Structure 1
Amino acid sequence: MGWIILGGGGHGSVIGDILLSDGHSVEGFTDISPSPPLLGRIPYLGDDLVVLARDRREVCLANGIGSVGDPSLRLRIFEDFQGKGYDFPPVISKNAYISPFASLGQGTVIFPGAIIQTAVSLGVNVIINTGAVVDHGCKIGNHVHIAPGTVLSGDVTVGDRCHIGTGASVIQGIEIGEGAIVAAGAVVVKSVGNGETVMGVPARRRP
């Protein structure tokens, strides 16, 4: 069974690298505009209509749309194809550590150097980016982006559609509400409400 990557930007390139490095067959990628091959090896197939022409039982999809602050496009692409019965198996770098006692939802992408500890639960369409640490007992909702170098201490809860910025740190037991944004480098020492943006050390709500 071959893989098709939806999206040909930087995020899609990293996914392609992970899949090829793990020996998977990658048929190509889709995008709204013709593009040169990803990594010089993964061919452009056309727009997303190419996927709809394929038997959903014969292809695995990877969501190559990134998520920086606004996850709406990534969310829409995932839900549209999943609703049509297409499968988004987790894409996991062989250079990440995943506890066998963690659970991963459909469409999860885990980049090199990430650490997912025991009893962690990841929702669907989650990005755990390069070098991020998600410690024991964390509960991560759907369509969440944990950016490079982020550290979530034990038993942190992150609601759906959150973005946790590069290098942010969240102490143990914190709850981060749905749609919240934690700015890059922030140190979160108290819970964050739905839709709030926090920044700084310690993190405070944006005025």
Structure 2
Amino acid sequence: MQIIIIGASGHGKVISDIISYNIERVGGGGSYKFLDGNIKRGTEIHGYPVIGTVEECVHYPEAHFLIGIGDNLTRKKIAETYELNYITAIHPTAVIGENVHIGNGTVVMANAVINADAKIGKHCIINTSAVIEHECTIGDYTHVSPQACLCGNVHVGEECHIGAGATIINNKNIVNNIIIGAENVVIRDINESGTYAGSPIRRIG
């Protein structure tokens, strides 16, 4: 299987680690390459080459793709511009519960936990040691940062960013286009798009 990662900076490198771990674990064949217009063609990342720019993805119709870019809106723009064979990547140390749905293009990092009946949209990032509890739903293009925790039955919209170490208590609803600051605790529904921080949390922009 040929896997191409779009984006060869920090997030792309973490995805390449996940792919390497999975290839080694199953003992199967496969390789991956990168597309990144900001890095010189031929540069090797973790031993695998940058083979061109993002726009050149259309030259590889048989390949499987992941978008290794942390910015939600950039991931969305690429995914909606190029109809590619997007796959998921799940680190072997992640815990995935029963009846969990994970959309195409989503990446689940090391030691993340996604518990029973959770539904994760497409092209999301569930980052290192994040916890998504039972029956949560997460919209497309949302990033749950390292060690963030969504308690049971939390509903998060599309294109949200949940900051590192943030907690959303159970049964809360978060609309689209929300940024939750790091280490903050959400104790009420958030019904207006914007950036939220503080204790108690409040809209700051």
TM-score by structure 2 length?
0.92
Q: How big is the shift at 1:73?
A: 1.0
1:125-159 deviation digits (Å, cap 9, x = unpaired): 11000000000000101110000010000000001
Unmatched runs of 5 consecutive residues or more in structure 2: 24-28
Residue aligning to 1:28 = 33
Q: How big is the shift at 1:25?
A: 2.1
Unmatched runs of 5 consecutive residues or more in structure 1: none
Q: How big is the shift at 1:33?
A: 2.6
Residue aligning to 1:50 = 56
Which moved further from structure 2: 170-179 or 18-27?
Answer: 18-27
Which moved further from structure 2: 27-36 or 118-127?
Answer: 27-36
For residues 37-186 of structure 1, what are the structure 2 equivalents within 5 Å? 37-39=44-46, 41-54=47-60, 56=61, 58-67=62-71, 71-82=72-83, 86-186=84-184
1:12 aligns with 2:17: no
Query: Equivalent residue of 1:46, what SS?
Result: coil
1:72-99 deviation digits (Å, cap 9, x = unpaired): 11111112223xxx11111100010111
Contact 1:16–1:42 under 8 Å retained in 2: no
Q: How big is the shift at 1:206?
A: 1.5
Query: Equivalent residue of 2:51, what SS?
Result: strand
Residue aligning to 2:26 = none
Contact 1:140–1:159 under 8 Å retained in 2: yes
Contact 1:113–1:131 under 8 Å retained in 2: yes
Distance in 2 between the 1:107 and 1:15 partners? 11
Query: Equivalent residue of 2:76, what SS?
Result: helix
* Seq. identity, %: 33
User: Over aligned residues, Cα RMSD in angstroms?
Assistant: 1.3
Query: Equivalent residue of 1:12, what SS?
Result: helix
Query: Equivalent residue of 2:44, what SS?
Result: coil
Distance in 2 between the 1:20 and 1:6 partners? 16
Q: How big is the shift at 1:26?
A: 2.8
Distance in 2 between the 1:48 and 1:72 partners? 15
Q: How big is the shift at 1:27?
A: 3.1
Q: How big is the shift at 1:175?
A: 0.6
Q: How big is the shift at 1:50?
A: 3.0
Contact 1:16–1:26 under 8 Å retained in 2: no
Distance in 2 between the 1:193 and 1:111 partners? 29
Aligned length: 198
